Amino acid sequence: MRRPSGVADGDPLPQSLRLLLGTREALARSYLPFLTAGGFFLEGASASRLGEPCELRLQLPDSPYPATVETRVVGICPDPVVRPWRPGLLLALAGTDAERWRQRIEALLQT
């Protein structure tokens, strides 16, 4: 497995998460355009710390197969005491392909 950028030899590999977005509506609900590089909210996912790299297996509506996308944890929503918040992770696109992914996702949302 190729090591994500920012993960040195000897460091533990990032956790691997999966996000299947079969429709444009599902993509719009999960996508976080307010993050500089774009990103996703993964409901129910958990991580140990902010800044942790995560390998996201992402399947977009225009693709029959998931692709591996580098992300980084930028927010953790714990199990809420007050609704409507949902527990999960905010993941920012990261790595050398972050801008390409952001452009592709935003183009899908505009169609």
Sheet holding 88-93, edge to edge: 15-20, 53-59, 67-77, 88-93, 39-43
- What is the per-residue pLDDT across 16-35, written as a single tens digit (0 to 9) for each? 889 999 999 999 999 999 99
With a threshold of 0.85, does the pTM exceed it?
no
| Span 51-100, pLDDT tens digits | 999 999 999 999 999 999 999 999 888 776 666 667 888 999 999 999 99
Neighbours of 75 (CB within 10 A): 15
CA R_g for the chain:
14
